[in-house]
Amino acid sequence: MLDDFLLRAALAGVGIALAAGPLGSFVVWRRMAYFGDATAHAAILGVALALIFSAPVTLGTLLVALAMAAAVSWLSTKGHAMDATLGVLSHSALALGIVAISFVPGVRVDLSAFLFGDILAVTRPDLAVIWGGAGFVVALLGWRWSRLLTATLSRELAAASGIDADREGLVLTLALAVVVAVALKVVGALLIAAMLIIPAAAARGLVRTPEGMAFGAAAIGAAAALGGLWASYSFDTPAGPSIVTVAAGLFLLVALFGRRH
């Protein structure tokens, strides 16, 4: 019988995969990989602010992730190059968060747990937050699915259909912020983007429809989470990086043997 901590870790990994799979599909379709990375890095600043103000870490990371998205959107309207803007904000937020944590009085923080995740330390309240956040993201994407797909395919087609593409972009931004906030403890800030992108990229080589890619990405993400936990338990390796390594292995298999487009 599985130990309680392994069962909680498995449930946490599967919960994140169910939300990250469909959302990651939109990240891949819209070429938002750098945006996801920047949002994840900003989560460390959210951790620092949560510790400073004695607030829940999940709330801090969620608010900072939303602030990051708003800052990127505002700077892009001012004519700044998107890739340069994301690079500046991403690394600045990460560095500022690490520095800020060092000034929090009376608090000793294991930064590696936030950078690379500590899924084996997930508690029952953590599971409630993870599955609650995942359920919210899945419900939100399901509700806006056709509108999101249309806005992703073509802004002109969206406008002709009476769909506000900018509003749909905000929906994705909110979903991304929620996933980053709840996934921080599972795979860490440095690996969240990988769990968004790799399963979706792998699923892309196996399916023919957007819905198939979303379900496939969730399944591959769940398989990576369970396989990574098994590898971590068997070979005494870090759990978060092990999960991403298994996901990368699955992507390689699909790239070598999957359907050609």
Q: Each residue of 96-105: pLDDT tens digit?
A: 988 888 887 7
Token match 């092990």: residue?
Answer: 242
pLDDT of residue 1: 45
Question: 24-54: per-residue pLDDT in tens?
Answer: 999 999 888 778 888 888 889 999 899 888 8
Would you list the domain boundaries of the chain?
Answer: 4-190
Those residues whose C-beta lies under 8 Å from the C-beta of residue 15, and which sit 6 or more positions away, are: 127, 130, 131, 134, 182
Average pLDDT, the chain: 89
Question: 216-252: per-residue pLDDT in tens?
Answer: 999 999 999 999 999 999 999 999 999 999 999 999 9
pLDDT of residue 144: 95
- Checking if the pLDDT of 22 tops 80, the result is yes
Higher per-residue confidence, 73 vs 205: 205
* pLDDT grade for 132, boundaries at 50, 70 and 90: very high
What is the dihedral sign for C-alpha 111, 237, 214, 259?
Answer: positive
pLDDT of residue 2: 56
Is 250 within 8 Å of 21 (Cβ atoms)? no
Q: Own/partner pairs for 127-131, CB < 8 Å, 24+ apart?
A: 127/8, 127/11, 127/12, 127/15, 129/58, 129/182, 130/12, 130/15, 130/16, 130/182, 130/183, 130/186, 131/11, 131/15
- Please indicate, yes or no, whether the overall pTM of this predicted structure exceeds 0.85: yes
Choices 1.10.3470.10, 3.10.580.10, 3.30.1300.10, 1.10.3720.10: CATH for 4-190: 1.10.3470.10
pLDDT of residue 107: 66
Give me the helices (H) in 188-209, please.
192-204
